[in-house]
């Protein structure tokens, strides 16, 4: 349902821009949608949710695919690109409480209360911050997770992305928004991406009108950070990025599974560059899988460099060890 709402919202924007074009929506389900009894971090990498869709794109059965950007790996298969990153919804994580805990916050829950989350990133940060609480895996789409929360007594609360709840029209279920001080968010969280064939200039030109420049720059920095760390679903990597007065600020962190060991730092760079009219092959340079035709090349490069430099800084302080231990422990679970 959420995927459908997200796709509809993108198609709606395209219809307004191109009233003469007919858009047809094709619904598909993916391997990731079908495996619901295993933690995401155990069933491999993110392509679970994208492979079937990319196959349809490759066979020209569809021309564009709408994803949550955080589901897309930092390296796309050859022949594909993210042709648009739409304006980001609130990227923060939200706590949804069991009806009996309505009006509470995490620190007011009784000791040993069980919190549901399928994200290693959320669990690692919140275990450190709220050692009195217990964290347990919960899988399924938004509807399923809320149902599990409401109809059983297994969980006192669950953690979800605020963006998904908002898009579903369930903002009233948000009992607490977790600030970046409580919980840094996932790379690309809250942003929608439109994936297209990299060589399909017509479609690429069409969807590039949907790019939100600030969101693109933030997400390129975040994705470059993740890529340099070689992070994925199976390790706790988290970020927070903001753009203000032409300066892009990126905070990035890595965590051990229990949150006891962590590294975190912030860097900034200038992204205030004029748009240059560059005709020719330079237009379609990809930055961590994103082709942004209407954002200045120097700004895109600066954002990517920022992510790489911040990751390199954390690696120089020992991030590789934290992540490899987290990966081994997760594989052994």
pLDDT digits (tens, 9 = 90+) for 212-228: 999 999 999 999 999 99
Find where tokens 């971090």 sit.
41
Predicted pLDDT of residue 139: 84
The C-alpha atoms of residue 53 and residue 62 are separated, in whole angstroms, by 9
Strand partners, 177: 94
The mean pLDDT of the chain is 91
> Has 212 been annotated as catalytic?
no
Label residue 188 by pLDDT band (50, 70, 90). very high
Which is the catalytic residue, given 8, 63, 71, 261?
Answer: 71
Residue 192 has pLDDT above 80, yes or no: yes
Rg from Cα positions in the chain: 20
CA distance 150 to 331: 31
State the DSSP code for 181: T
Evaluate the CA torsion angle 102, 106, 112, 117 in order and state its sign.
positive
Please say whether the beta carbons of 76 and 67 come within 8 A: no
Q: What pTM did the predictor assign?
A: 0.92
From 96, 62, 57, select the one nearest 79 (Cα to Cα). Answer: 57
Query: What is the helix (H) or strand (E) element at residue 226, kind and residue range?
Result: helix 213-229
Label residue 331 by pLDDT band (50, 70, 90): confident
Which residue has better confidence, 140 or 277? 140
Q: Are strands 176-178 and 93-97 parallel, antiparallel or unpaired?
A: antiparallel
What domains lie within the chain, and their CATH numbers? 1-90+187-332 (3.30.160.40), 93-177 (3.40.190.10)
């Amino acid at each position: 349902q959420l995927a459908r709402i997200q796709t509809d919202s993108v198609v709606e924007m395209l219809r307004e821009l191109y009233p003469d074009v007919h858009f047809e929506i094709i619904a598909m389900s993916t391997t990731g949608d079908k495996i619901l009894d295993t933690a995401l971090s155990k069933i491999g990498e993110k392509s679970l949710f994208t492979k079937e869709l990319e196959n349809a794109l490759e066979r020209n059965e569809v021309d564009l695919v709408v994803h949550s950007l955080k589901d897309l790996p930092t390296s796309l298969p050859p022949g594909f690109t993210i042709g648009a990153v739409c304006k980001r919804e609130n990227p923060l994580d939200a706590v949804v409480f069991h009806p009996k805990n309505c009006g509470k916050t995490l620190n007011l829950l009784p000791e040993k209360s069980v919190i549901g989350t399928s994200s290693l990133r959320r669990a690692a940060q919140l275990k450190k911050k709220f050692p009195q609480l217990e964290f347990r895996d919960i899988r399924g789409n938004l509807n399923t997770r809320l149902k599990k929360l409401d109809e059983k007594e297994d969980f006192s609360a669950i953690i979800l992305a605020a963006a998904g709840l908002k898009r579903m029209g369930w903002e009233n279920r948000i009992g607490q928004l977790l600030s970046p001080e409580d919980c840094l968010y996932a790379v690309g969280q809250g942003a929608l991406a439109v994936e297209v064939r990299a060589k399909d200039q017509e479609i690429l030109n069409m969807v590039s009108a949907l790019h939100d420049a600030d969101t693109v720059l933030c997400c390129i920095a975040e994705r470059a950070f993740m890529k340099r760390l070689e992070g994925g679903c199976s390790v706790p990597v988290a970020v927070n990025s903001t753009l203000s007065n032409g300066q892009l600020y990126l905070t990035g962190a890595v965590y051990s599974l229990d949150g006891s060991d962590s590294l975190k730092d912030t860097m900034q760079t200038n992204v205030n560059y004029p748009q240059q009219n560059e005709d020719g092959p330079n237009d379609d340079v990809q930055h961590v899988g994103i082709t942004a035709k209407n954002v200045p090349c120097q700004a895109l490069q600066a954002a990517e460099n920022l992510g790489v430099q911040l990751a390199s800084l954390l690696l120089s302080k020992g991030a590789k060890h934290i992540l490899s231990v987290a990966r081994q422990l997760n594989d052994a679970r």
